[in-house]
């Protein structure tokens, strides 16, 4: 697979091809808040623990809600809730199909949040690996700007998304998409405010802010839909 110049530079900036091809698991802790949580009547995340599979859409987030003993799991297109001892409490096949109409306009339950938070995080955090996937159509629109076309087999915000990288460093600056399960009008800009290094020297986006995307493609100053802090980031 031949990668674009921007993709090659981004992969190198985040640790390199060999690291991401050989990695199996990503572990992290996140805190997240913002209007999107409030509108769906969801508690914020405070140092929630996440374990993600680097090469397939599988992710766990604990706690997923107010009960500290319940973990939300994304497994492909499906979601489930698990107890501390790994027992399945509830599950939902093809979770995306449930977001069309009804009470989800007003509030989300733990399964809804399991789907949204896990797939969004999996897309954000495994980006270097996503750039090397053959089932995603990557196109370089201009130096530093990539457009991605995702297949139906990958849970994601919208099928077409754009990623802007710093042309000098290769680091991600902005990720634009439409959060379809919230609304077909929910065009958003996910801006990386800060990068950090972990104890091994791996660079990762550590602070991200999601706001509506303006009519000219620029992120609006507010409201802040999601503010995301990544406290730790480890590849295994």
- Residue 100, pLDDT score: 74
Total tally of structural domains belonging to the chain? 1
The CATH number assigned to the domain holding 147 equals: 2.50.20
pLDDT at 214 over 80: yes
Residue 195 lies in a domain: yes
Question: Is the pLDDT assigned to residue 56 strictly greater than 80?
Answer: yes
Instruction: For residues 81-102, give the mean pLDDT.
Output: 93
Pairing state between β 58-62 and 160-165: unpaired
pLDDT in tens, 144-168: 999 999 999 999 999 999 999 999 9
Closest Cα to residue 146, out of 132, 131, 129? 131
**pLDDT for res 51:** 98
Beta-strand runs (E) in the chain:
25-33, 45-53, 58-62, 71-75, 78-82, 88-92, 137-142, 145-149, 160-165, 172-178, 187-197, 203-212, 226-235
Is 100 a domain residue?
Answer: yes
The answer to whether residue 13 is domain-embedded is yes
Name the DSSP class of 4: P
- Among 15-19, 105-109, 111-115, 137-141, whose mean pLDDT is lowest? 105-109
Whether residue 147 lies inside any domain: the answer is: yes
- pTM for the predicted model, two decimal places: 0.97
In the chain, the percentage of residues whose pLDDT exceeds 70 is 100
Asked if the structure places residue 119 within a domain, the reply is yes
Question: What is the model's pLDDT at position 154?
Answer: 98
Q: Kindly state the average pLDDT of the residues 104-113.
A: 95
**Average pLDDT value for residue range 185-202:** 96
Q: With respect to residue 205, please indicate whether it lies within any of the assigned structural domains.
A: yes
| Burial (0-12, 13-18, 19+ Cβ within 10 Å), 184 | exposed
| Residue span of the structural domain in which 120 resides | 5-231
The pLDDT of residue 236 is above 90: yes
Rounded mean pLDDT of 59-83?
98
State mean pLDDT over 23-28.
98
Query: Does residue 236 belong to any structural domain of this protein?
Result: no
Position 222 confidence tier, pLDDT thresholds 50, 70, 90: very high
Nearest to 157 by CA among 207, 104, 223, 210: 210
CA distances from 16 to 10, 12, 83, 230 (A): 8, 4, 36, 20
């Amino acid at each position: 697979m031949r990668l674009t110049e921007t993709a090659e530079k981004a992969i190198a900036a985040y640790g390199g091809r060999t690291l991401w091809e050989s990695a199996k698991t990503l572990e992290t802790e996140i805190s997240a808040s913002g209007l999107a949580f409030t509108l769906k009547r969801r508690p914020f995340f405070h140092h929630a623990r996440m374990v993600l599979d680097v090469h397939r859409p599988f992710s766990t987030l604990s706690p997923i809600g107010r009960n500290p003993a319940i973990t939300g799991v994304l497994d492909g297109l499906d979601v489930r809730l698990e107890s501390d001892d790994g027992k399945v409490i509830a599950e939902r096949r093809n979770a995306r199909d449930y977001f069309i109409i009804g009470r989800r306009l007003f509030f989300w339950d733990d399964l809804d949040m399991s789907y949204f938070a896990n797939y969004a995080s999996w897309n954000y955090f495994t980006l270097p690996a996503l750039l090397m996937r053959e089932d995603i159509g990557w196109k370089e629109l201009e130096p530093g700007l990539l457009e991605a076309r995702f297949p139906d087999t990958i849970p994601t915000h919208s099928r077409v998304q754009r990623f802007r990288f710093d042309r000098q460093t290769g680091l991600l600056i902005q990720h634009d998409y439409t959060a379809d399960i919230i609304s077909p009008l929910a065009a958003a800009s996910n801006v990386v405010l800060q990068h950090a290094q972990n104890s091994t020297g791996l660079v990762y986006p550590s602070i991200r802010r999601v706001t509506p995307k303006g009519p000219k493609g620029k992120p609006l100053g507010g409201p802040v839909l999601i503010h995301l802090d990544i406290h730790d980031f480890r590849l295994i």
